[in-house]
Amino acid sequence: MSVNDISKGRRPKRAPLSHSLWPTLKTVLRTLGSVAVTLLGLLFITFIIGRVMPIDPVLSIVGERASQETYDAVYHQLGLDKPLLVQFFYYLWDVLHLDFGTSLLNARPVSEDIARVFPATLELASLGIVFGVVIGVPLGVLAAVRKGSWIDQIARVVALVGYSMPIFWLGLMGLLIFYGILGWVGGPGRVGIFYVDIVPTVTGMILVDSLLDSNIDVFKDAFSHIILPASLLGYYSLAYISRMTRSFMLEQMSAEYITTARVKGMSEWDVIWKHAFKNIRVQLITVIALSYAGLLEGSVLTEIIFSWPGIGSYITTALLSADMNAVLGGTVVVGLIFILLNIFSDLLYKIFDPRAK
């Protein structure tokens, strides 16, 4: 726009709407393409795993004493007589329609079983990650700010124990001490036997469902059962989150802009939380997202020890029973969770980091 146009009060021409929306549209298309490729690779890997496992799905259905005619009929019904590429496309089509086949253990659709057990894992992992973030982040910040002090030493010991101790051992010791000896928490399972199926299932998360039903007794009992396994999972994530937070903060606290802020007379609180911590939020997003995904898929031992009916124990039981439909269905769901959490963290980048916009 020329100087004469400005002097005459003419408004500058706006860029066409198509040009202003193109960068956003291009980012969305790039993200969707990346998700599609990743999901396709995940489905291909799970398909190959299902084919190379030394388990005959036909024998798992008909049994070893079935006749050859019965075996051949089921073999043809499952589509195993078709080329592998055709089998993969059939598998891909079924998964895109949320059809993971039928479980060999209970003859129910695997998708229904996963929808039934996944809320239990979601509830357990969500409470665990809250525990890990609420304690791990402040602990890591304090350890970095007070480097070499007793707080720093405690934080490092906490992280070291969390990395070193097997979670199944911690679970057994926790049950022995806090449930068997002290009686402070509930035992294995989600609720006591007296409270089973009392509240209607709405979300599948019993803490939420009991609050929706205004049943405080069930809520208290469910909380007493979930607090110990959630704390153990939270301690596992706390060790990782506090360690990474300490490392990020140490890097920021040694930067020149922190020294400048202190020279200007800014309070230590503002220096730590409004300057240093603000610059590590984007890094912490990735750490917390990956830690949360790890709790969702890595809580197998915890669920087994505490008889928690989640997706981890479901996949383990299916694997021991050679129920490959259930195993592959659970594996796809866990992989999809990782993909969605990565997308979510990318979206948070746009909010907390202006450079990513």
The pLDDT tens digits along the chain (357 residues) read 544 554 555 555 555 545 556 666 776 677 777 777 888 888 888 788 777 776 777 776 777 777 778 877 877 777 777 788 888 888 888 888 888 888 877 778 888 899 999 999 999 999 999 999 999 999 999 998 888 888 888 888 888 887 777 888 888 888 889 888 888 888 888 888 888 888 888 888 889 989 998 889 989 999 999 999 999 888 888 888 998 999 999 888 888 888 888 888 888 888 888 888 888 888 888 888 888 888 887 677 888 888 888 888 888 888 877 777 888 888 888 888 888 887 777 777 777 665 555
Same domain, 197 and 262: yes
Same domain, 31 and 153: no
Same domain, 197 and 281: yes
Residue 9 within a domain: no
C-alpha–C-alpha distance, residues 168 and 163, integer Å: 13
Handedness of CA 342, 348, 350, 354 (dihedral sign): negative
Q: Are residues 189 and 294 in the same domain?
A: yes
Same domain, residue pair 210 and 277 = yes
Is residue 122, in this structure, part of any structural domain at all?
A: yes
Answer with the one of 38, 68, 96 that is the final residue of a domain.
96
C-beta of residue 126 within 8 angstroms of C-beta of residue 225: no
Question: How many domains does the chain fold into?
Answer: 2
* Farthest-apart Cα atoms in the chain, separation: 95
- Please check whether residues 277 and 238 belong to one and the same domain: yes
Q: What is the CATH number of the domain that holds 336?
A: 1.10.3720.10
Query: 258 and 289, same structural domain?
Result: yes
Both 123 and 271 in one domain: the answer is yes
Cα separation, 194 vs 186, whole angstroms: 13
Residue that terminates a domain, selected from 69, 96, 123:
96
Gap between the Cα atoms of 144 and 163, Å rounded = 19
Statement to judge: residues 144 and 223 lie in one domain: yes
- Can you give the residue range of the structural domain that contains 59? 23-96
